[in-house]
Protein backbone atom coordinates (compact mmCIF):
# COMPACT_ATOMS: atom_id res chain seq x y z
CA UNK A 1 0.00 0.00 0.00
CA UNK A 2 1.15 3.49 -0.77
CA UNK A 3 1.99 5.69 2.24
CA UNK A 4 1.64 9.36 1.44
CA UNK A 5 2.87 12.21 3.58
CA UNK A 6 1.30 15.61 2.95
CA UNK A 7 1.45 19.26 3.86
CA UNK A 8 -1.11 21.97 3.08
CA UNK A 9 -0.48 25.71 3.00
CA UNK A 10 -2.71 28.75 2.70
CA UNK A 11 -2.59 29.97 -0.87
CA UNK A 12 -0.79 33.25 -0.17
CA UNK A 13 2.37 35.09 -1.06
CA UNK A 14 4.58 33.38 1.55
CA UNK A 15 3.38 29.96 0.52
CA UNK A 16 4.31 30.44 -3.11
CA UNK A 17 8.00 30.42 -2.14
CA UNK A 18 7.48 27.40 0.07
CA UNK A 19 5.81 25.54 -2.77
CA UNK A 20 8.63 26.48 -5.16
CA UNK A 21 11.24 25.29 -2.68
CA UNK A 22 9.41 22.03 -2.02
CA UNK A 23 8.95 21.38 -5.74
CA UNK A 24 12.67 21.90 -6.31
CA UNK A 25 13.82 19.64 -3.45
CA UNK A 26 11.14 16.97 -3.92
CA UNK A 27 10.78 16.49 -7.67
CA UNK A 28 8.39 13.53 -7.22
CA UNK A 29 5.92 15.50 -5.04
CA UNK A 30 2.39 16.10 -6.35
CA UNK A 31 1.09 19.66 -5.96
CA UNK A 32 -2.69 20.12 -5.76
CA UNK A 33 -4.29 23.56 -6.02
CA UNK A 34 -7.61 23.77 -4.15
CA UNK A 35 -9.70 26.85 -3.24
CA UNK A 36 -7.58 29.06 -0.92
CA UNK A 37 -5.05 26.28 -0.28
CA UNK A 38 -2.22 24.29 -1.81
CA UNK A 39 -1.78 20.66 -0.80
CA UNK A 40 1.44 18.77 -1.53
CA UNK A 41 1.79 15.04 -1.15
CA UNK A 42 4.61 12.58 -1.72
CA UNK A 43 5.38 8.95 -1.14
CA UNK A 44 6.91 8.42 2.33
CA UNK A 45 8.94 11.65 2.61
CA UNK A 46 8.87 15.43 2.02
CA UNK A 47 11.56 17.92 2.96
CA UNK A 48 11.70 21.72 3.22
CA UNK A 49 15.29 23.00 3.28
CA UNK A 50 16.18 26.34 4.83
CA UNK A 51 18.92 26.85 2.26
CA UNK A 52 16.54 26.49 -0.70
CA UNK A 53 13.99 28.80 0.93
CA UNK A 54 16.62 31.49 1.58
CA UNK A 55 17.69 31.25 -2.04
CA UNK A 56 14.07 31.70 -3.20
CA UNK A 57 13.31 34.55 -0.78
CA UNK A 58 16.65 36.34 -1.00
CA UNK A 59 16.78 36.74 2.80
CA UNK A 60 17.36 34.77 6.00
CA UNK A 61 14.52 32.39 6.79
CA UNK A 62 13.73 30.62 10.04
CA UNK A 63 12.25 27.14 9.57
CA UNK A 64 9.60 27.98 12.20
CA UNK A 65 8.24 30.75 9.97
CA UNK A 66 6.33 28.04 8.12
CA UNK A 67 4.07 27.78 11.18
CA UNK A 68 2.29 30.93 10.00
CA UNK A 69 1.13 29.55 6.67
CA UNK A 70 0.77 25.81 7.23
CA UNK A 71 -2.78 24.37 7.38
CA UNK A 72 -2.22 20.71 7.98
CA UNK A 73 0.33 17.91 7.81
CA UNK A 74 0.40 14.13 7.68
CA UNK A 75 3.50 12.19 8.71
CA UNK A 76 6.10 12.12 11.47
CA UNK A 77 7.77 15.51 11.89
CA UNK A 78 11.51 16.04 12.19
CA UNK A 79 12.55 19.66 12.45
CA UNK A 80 15.85 21.38 13.19
CA UNK A 81 17.55 24.64 12.20
CA UNK A 82 18.15 23.55 8.62
CA UNK A 83 15.13 21.57 7.55
CA UNK A 84 11.58 20.40 8.16
CA UNK A 85 10.96 16.76 7.25
CA UNK A 86 7.74 14.76 7.09
CA UNK A 87 8.04 11.00 6.85
CA UNK A 88 6.42 7.63 7.41
CA UNK A 89 8.63 4.83 8.68
Partner 1 sequence: MPVKNKKLNLKDKYQYLTRDMAWEPTYQKKEDIFPNESFEGIKITDWSQWEDPFRLTMDAYWKYQAEKEKKLYAIFDAFAQNNGHQNISDARYVNALKLFLSGVSPLEHAAFQGYARVGRDFSGAGARVACQMQAIDELRHSQTQQHAMSHYNKHFNGLHDAAHMHDRVWFLSVPKSFFDDARSAGPFEFLTAISFSFEYVLTNLLFVPFMSGAAYNGDMATVTFGFSAQSDEARHMTLGLEVIKFILEQHEDNVPIVQRWIDKWFWRGFRMLSLVGMMMDYMLPNRVMSWAEAWEVYYEQNGGALFKDLERYGIRPPKYQDIANDAKHHISHQAWSTFYQYGHATNFHTWMPEKDELDWLSEKYPETFDKYYRPRFEYWAREHAEGRRFYNNTLPQLCQVCQIPTIFTEKDDPTVLSHRQIVHEGERYHFCSDGCCDIFKNEPEKYVQAWLPVHQIYQGNCEGGDVETVVSKYYHINIGQDNFEYIGSPDHKRWLSIKGKQTGDKESSSSQDAA
Number of residues that bind partner 1 (CB under 8 A): 32
> Residue 49 in contact with residue 59, Cβ under 8 Å?
no
Confirm or reject binding of residue 30 to partner 1 (CB under 8 A): no
Confirm or reject binding of residue 18 to partner 1 (CB under 8 A): no
Q: Footprint of partner 1 on residues 43-62 (CB under 8 A)?
A: none
Of 11, 13, 2, 23, nearest in space to 88 by CA: 2
What is the side-by-side strand order in the sheet with 4-10?
A: 30-34, 37-43, 4-10, 70-74
Minimum distance, C-beta of residue 24 to partner 1, in the bound complex (Å): 22
> Residue 54 in contact with residue 60, Cβ under 8 Å?
yes
CB nearer partner 1, residue 54 or residue 65: 65
Interacting residue ranges for partner 1, rule: CB under 8 A: 1-6, 8, 10, 34-37, 63-65, 67-81, 88-89
Amino acid sequence: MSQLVFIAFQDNDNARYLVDAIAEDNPEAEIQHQPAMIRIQAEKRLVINRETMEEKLGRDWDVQEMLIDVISIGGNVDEDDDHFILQWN
